[in-house]
Amino acid sequence: MLSTLRSTLRSSNISFGRVLTGAAAIIMSASLVTPMIAQQQESERATRELSESTGIHHDQLGVYDTLWRDRLEGVAQQSLAKAEATVQANAAKADASAAKTAIAGLDDYKKLDDSKLRKSIDTTDAATAALAAAGAAADQRAAAAAAAAAAAAAAAQAAANTPDGAKATARSIAASTYGWGDDQFQCLSSLWSKESGWNYQASNGSSGAAGIPQSLPGSKMATFGADWATNATTQIKWGLDYIKRGYGTPCSAWGHSQSVNWY
């Protein structure tokens, strides 16, 4: 068959060597074209994805390449800003290491190609969302703890505002602050039982005296706390100071009260 081909080529004045050279050129061209085709197919796939994600018609994408890159970099800037703000707001409340790593990866966004840039943006956004959620959970735990502490304080205050609670508070402060023992406390107990029944809400309608020590007026007790009207402990602190300044001891104050019916 080869001899027939040679004869045909001679009759046609075509060199057999030229035929072989042409065949080799075709083979070489195929080796170059194949990867080019693959590259073109990948480009077309990326173009389709870009068209679907942006809504820009396939035929127009060439015109908008620069605008698309600018838009993508703008998204990267927004992701970075949000991530950095989230880290600043939540680093003290939750583990921010993943978000910081993502920020570092996105920081050189201008050097990343479109595919890597989109992935880096997604990674950063996910880390930002996770950190924000962790921070919110920490805030909820802190709020719950604060609410529990406030409830405990309110319960303790309510107990201290009862007559028995007020007496226990007065006994403790009288001993620790003024060195008054049980003998003085007995006089104090009698004095304030007569004045108010140890009721922090007691009020004298005729004189205007108020509270456990029957301060006249009640607002004088504000020197020991703005909560004087609702806190038996504040009233007790004011009353003990008043007794110390005016009578020296509770028993002296009680003796004066028995003598003239006031102190």
Per-residue model confidence as pLDDT tens digits over 55-77? 655 555 555 578 899 999 999 99
AA letter at 135: G
Per domain, the residue ranges of the chain are 2-60, 65-155, 163-260
128 CB-near residues (< 8 Å, 6+ apart):
79, 82, 83, 86, 99, 102
β strands within 121-232, DSSP E: none
Would you give the end-to-end CA distance of the chain in angstroms? 140
Which tokens sit at 178? 């003024």
The three-state secondary structure class of 206 is coil
Q: Which of 8-17, 22-31, 56-65 has the lowest mean pLDDT?
A: 22-31
Per-residue model confidence as pLDDT tens digits over 104-159? 999 999 999 999 999 999 999 999 999 999 999 999 999 999 999 999 999 999 99
Residues 45, 114: Cα–Cα separation, whole Å: 14
Residue 174 burial (CB < 10 Å; 0-12/13-18/19+)? buried
Cα torsion 19, 20, 24, 25 to 10°: value is: -30
pTM for the complete prediction? 0.59
